[in-house]
Amino acid sequence: MLGTGATDAVALPGEPAVTPELVREHNLTSGEYDRILDVLGRAPTLTELGVFSALWSEHCSYKHSRPVLRAFPTTGPQVVQGPGENAGVLRLPDGWAVAFKVESHNHPSAVEPYQGAATGVGGILRDVFTMGARPVALLNSLRFGPLDHPRNRYLFAGVVRGVGDYGNCVGIPTLGGEVAFAPGYTGNPLVNAMCVGLLRESELIRARAEGVGNVLLTVGARTGRDGIHGASFASEELSAASEARRPQVQVGDPFTEKLLLEASLELITSGLIVAIQDMGAAGLTSSSAEMAARGGVGVEIDTGLVPTRESGMTPYEILLSESQERMLVVAEPARVEEISAVCARWELTATPIGRVTDDGIFRVTHHGTVVAAIPGQRLVDDCPVYHPEARESEDVRARRGMTAPALTIDPEAALLQLLDAPNLASKRWVYEQYDSTVQAATVIPPGGDAGVIMVPGTDFGLAVTLDCNARLLALDPYEGGKAAVAEAARNIACTGARPLGITDCLNFGNPEKPEVFFQFREACRGIGDACRAFATPVTGGNVSFYNESPSGAIDPTPTIGMVGLLERVSDRVGSHFAAPGDRICILGTTAGALGGSAYWAELAGFVGGTPAPVDLDAERRLQELLVAAAREGLLRSAHDCSEGGLAVAVAEAAMGASYAEHPLGAAVDLTGYGDGLALDALLFGEDGARAVVSLAEGAAGALAELCARHGVPLFRAGAVGSPGGALTIQAGGRTMTWDTRHLRRTWLDAIPRRMRHADLDRNTGA
């Protein structure tokens, strides 16, 4: 073996020398390079430079976000596993637990929408099943520029197809999520994928390399040259040159993923392995280095043993490849044969590539030559941490003080236009491309407030949602951060489930810009405060910075993935009116907040004003009331009141579920609700802590009593009408009438009619 000292490493013949240019190309600053020299006590080899570049990228190191993230509440009696593992885990009844996580795949999807989105789904699935959990639900949050631009339609269609094809093939139902459109996402689409899995708490496995002398194995696909430096790519702004990054986008193979899923779960439940981790961002490098650091051990890998797709791959390429559908497994040497047999049954190979060592060194050899030898703990922990300057943008402050130009549109036309806006329209065109009923456990399919699944063999169910209203964050990141968590919790509670905890995907621009870092810091403060108020700890997630292109930065978009527990799944409450004659009630009050509203944005093209401050106490009381009312069987429907305000919430409840045979009419009288407000503020204002519920006439007394007990204001607003009947709202001394069939058609067709010729859009425009 060449190299005599424990931390000596040599360059391979023909390898370029490490120059300042090469360091810059690896996205490392000169300060970071100095730190590398300090860690090694010598200059790095090219291989080592690549390893540092990957692990010290923003994507892997969280170097701009770590101090802010530390302020999140992460504990609670329900927490089995908080941040720091592949996924967070919360406790459920009867020895069950739920593992869940959300992650971004924004940059790859911007240049290759189909594969970028597909591999995003693949990655998040692996994060969950490496905890020993069987994936039972997928959600996704997607954002694009407006659909009048062909490039945006192309990205939208490609992403949806990629998400669908991958999840459909593996056989995981997609239960919900969100799709939004705004100019800031032109050139910066966001693709956040969330996965929820179920496990027996006793079978939880952590990604911690243990046991000196244990073997490291790769399981699954061979390693190719795809995705090299994906983690670094995700850590820079997009530009015209990003198109050249297309080869760095990985290619997904959902069939291999399905085999890997079954093989991994079998390996975990059979107790044959010590630890397992997905080779995700930065591939073999991060999976091995992170597992070793968590276990406080060293590892030695011979890249010459890694099965590759093509010959002649260098250790640099093998270490940094992000080829998909690969796992790194740690096991006792005596188990290797049995492990290989399990993998062979699933048509996969398991190949020993290294071992756990006692010297704490991350060591890589290539056919006997030591090409990297780095103190492992320092490799993972010593990345410099930055505390960037934070300063609110003057422009945002000014916009909060503005109001929209006066709108002359009448409320009848305004509601129709809102329902025709892609942001508020039915997303059926999207979720119809996702299998939402595979696994035969879907109780509330996409299109409701939250998705609900049953857990076969138990009485309980899980509610899942993924939410964010970025417009509110753009105007006020602190209140907007609170609002995102509050909306997620309302959605969960509307189904009757109790919010348990969150995962977050924090999508922002370039954190080195003070205005962006201010948004990030304040949004996280808001998220943390809301999570504390609701006792829903943060169990992990993902930070995605640098969502900027020449056309600008995105709105701050921290998407909140939440899971809730429905103790008796038979108590679940749907979002839509259920029967003619039922009473309609509004829970919560309004101050007519139009700041940041969809009404102003969609009808006046104006994003401004002061969003309603979020009353966390009122939100919590509403959640508790909704859960209690569902438990007592008082509700026929419950629907969160958010984007588009009360009028849109009532219309959505009336228009019915995605495949309802007809909408139901409704007669609502708002006399006595929000008195003194302008009509448009009353109808379209977006105050939080509200829900529109329906109930049998006989349950009205009991609900009023329950509301009084929980301190939730209740307003008796009217009654559900006949199938296909009219929606009438009486307010401000007039009666407005809509044909619900017309509303439903408009709302259902808004996206399909814009996407009718999306196949012709192809890759046009930039």
Using the contact rule CB under 8 A, the part of the chain among 38-46, 138-146, 250-258, 527-535 near another protein is 250-258
**CA 484 – CA 644 distance, rounded (Å):** 15
Binding positions for another protein, 567-606, rule CB under 8 A: 569-570, 572
Q: Report which DSSP code applies to 249.
A: S
Q: Kind and range of the H or E element at 518?
A: helix 514-534
Q: How many CB atoms neighbour CB 464 within 10 A?
A: 30
Residue selected from 56, 154, 362, 434 as contacting another protein according to rule CB under 8 A: 434
Per-residue x/- track, 632-661, another protein (CB under 8 A): --------------------------xx-x
For another protein, the closer CB: 435 or 487: 435
Smallest CA-to-CA distance from 483 within 577, 310, 615 is with 615
Read off φ and ψ for residue 621, nearest 5 degrees: -65, -40
Does the active-site annotation cover 59? yes
Instruction: Confirm or reject binding of residue 271 to another protein (CB under 8 A).
Output: no
Smallest CA-to-CA distance from 129 within 61, 203, 44 is with 203
Nearest-approach distance from CB 435 to another protein, in angstroms: 4
Instruction: Confirm or reject binding of residue 458 to another protein (CB under 8 A).
Output: no
For another protein, the closer CB: 402 or 657: 657
Nearest-approach distance from CB 739 to another protein, in angstroms: 12
**CA 491 – CA 497 distance, rounded (Å):** 9
Does the active-site annotation cover 662? no
Torsion-angle region of residue 535: left (phi > 0), alpha (psi -120 to 50) or beta? Answer: left
Binding positions for another protein, 80-119, rule CB under 8 A: none
Nearest-approach distance from CB 763 to another protein, in angstroms: 18
Instruction: Confirm or reject binding of residue 197 to another protein (CB under 8 A).
Output: no
> H helices of 206-298, where?
230-233, 254-269, 283-295
For another protein, the closer CB: 80 or 169: 169
Contacts with another protein: how many residues (CB under 8 A)? 41
Instruction: Confirm or reject binding of residue 757 to another protein (CB under 8 A).
Output: no
**CA 564 – CA 100 distance, rounded (Å):** 12
Nearest-approach distance from CB 552 to another protein, in angstroms: 32
For another protein, the closer CB: 221 or 533: 221
Using the contact rule CB under 8 A, the part of the chain among 77-85, 438-446, 601-609, 645-653 near another protein is 438-446
Instruction: Confirm or reject binding of residue 255 to another protein (CB under 8 A).
Output: yes
Query: How far from 691 is each of 355, 487, 684, CA to CA, in Å?
Result: 56, 11, 14
Q: Report which DSSP code applies to 223.
A: B
Residue selected from 201, 741, 749, 763 as contacting another protein according to rule CB under 8 A: 741
Smallest CA-to-CA distance from 642 within 611, 672, 665, 616 is with 611
Instruction: Confirm or reject binding of residue 270 to another protein (CB under 8 A).
Output: no
**CA 10 – CA 223 distance, rounded (Å):** 23
Instruction: Match 């390898």 to its residue by tokens.
Output: 15
> H helices of 606-678, where?
616-631, 645-655
Instruction: Confirm or reject binding of residue 439 to another protein (CB under 8 A).
Output: yes
**CA 422 – CA 185 distance, rounded (Å):** 14
The amino acid that residue 285 corresponds to is T
**CA 79 – CA 152 distance, rounded (Å):** 40
Q: How many CB atoms neighbour CB 186 within 10 A?
A: 21
Instruction: Match 């090219």 to its residue by tokens.
Output: 46
Q: Report which DSSP code applies to 253.
A: -
Instruction: Confirm or reject binding of residue 136 to another protein (CB under 8 A).
Output: no
Nearest-approach distance from CB 440 to another protein, in angstroms: 4
Say if CB 748 and CB 426 are below 8 A apart: yes
Residue selected from 432, 567, 669, 749 as contacting another protein according to rule CB under 8 A: 432
Nearest-approach distance from CB 276 to another protein, in angstroms: 20
Instruction: Confirm or reject binding of residue 761 to another protein (CB under 8 A).
Output: no
Q: What number of residues does the chain have?
A: 766
Instruction: Confirm or reject binding of residue 433 to another protein (CB under 8 A).
Output: yes
Output the CA torsion 392→397→398→403 (10° steps). Answer: 150
Using the contact rule CB under 8 A, the part of the chain among 180-188, 228-236, 289-297, 439-447 near another protein is 439-447
Instruction: Confirm or reject binding of residue 259 to another protein (CB under 8 A).
Output: yes
For another protein, the closer CB: 431 or 599: 431
Nearest-approach distance from CB 352 to another protein, in angstroms: 24
Instruction: Confirm or reject binding of residue 442 to another protein (CB under 8 A).
Output: yes
Binding positions for another protein, 308-347, rule CB under 8 A: 346-347
Residue selected from 316, 362, 431, 606 as contacting another protein according to rule CB under 8 A: 431
Which two structure tokens, joined as six digits, stand for 151? 């490039």
Instruction: Confirm or reject binding of residue 200 to another protein (CB under 8 A).
Output: no
For another protein, the closer CB: 716 or 741: 741
Residue selected from 29, 30, 437, 735 as contacting another protein according to rule CB under 8 A: 437
Terminal-residue alpha carbon distance, the chain = 51
Q: How would you write 147-187 as a 3-class SS string?
A: CCCHHHHHHHHHHHHHHHHHHHHHCCCEEEEEEEECHHHCC
For another protein, the closer CB: 6 or 169: 169
Q: How far, rounded to the nearest angstrom, does the alpha carbon of residue 12 sit from its chain's CA centroid?
A: 41
Q: What is the largest CA-CA distance in the chain?
A: 89
Kindly name the residue from 59, 64, 149, 576 that is annotated as catalytic. 59
Which two structure tokens, joined as six digits, stand for 602? 């969609």
Instruction: Confirm or reject binding of residue 239 to another protein (CB under 8 A).
Output: no
> H helices of 632-673, where?
645-655
Using the contact rule CB under 8 A, the part of the chain among 168-176, 208-216, 391-399, 711-719 near another protein is 168-176
Instruction: Confirm or reject binding of residue 631 to another protein (CB under 8 A).
Output: no
For another protein, the closer CB: 394 or 661: 661
**CA 412 – CA 427 distance, rounded (Å):** 22
DSSP line for 489-516:
HHHHHHTTPEEEEEEEEEE-S-TTSHHH
Nearest-approach distance from CB 338 to another protein, in angstroms: 18
Binding positions for another protein, 662-681, rule CB under 8 A: 662
Instruction: Confirm or reject binding of residue 441 to another protein (CB under 8 A).
Output: yes
Residue selected from 435, 487, 615, 687 as contacting another protein according to rule CB under 8 A: 435
Residue selected from 192, 324, 436, 549 as contacting another protein according to rule CB under 8 A: 436
Kindly name the residue from 26, 105, 229, 639 that is annotated as catalytic. 105
What does the binding site for another protein look like in residue numbers (CB under 8 A)?
A: 161, 164-165, 168-171, 253-256, 258-259, 346-347, 431-443, 445, 454, 456, 569-570, 572, 658-659, 661-662, 724, 741, 759
Q: Which residues are catalytic?
A: 59, 105
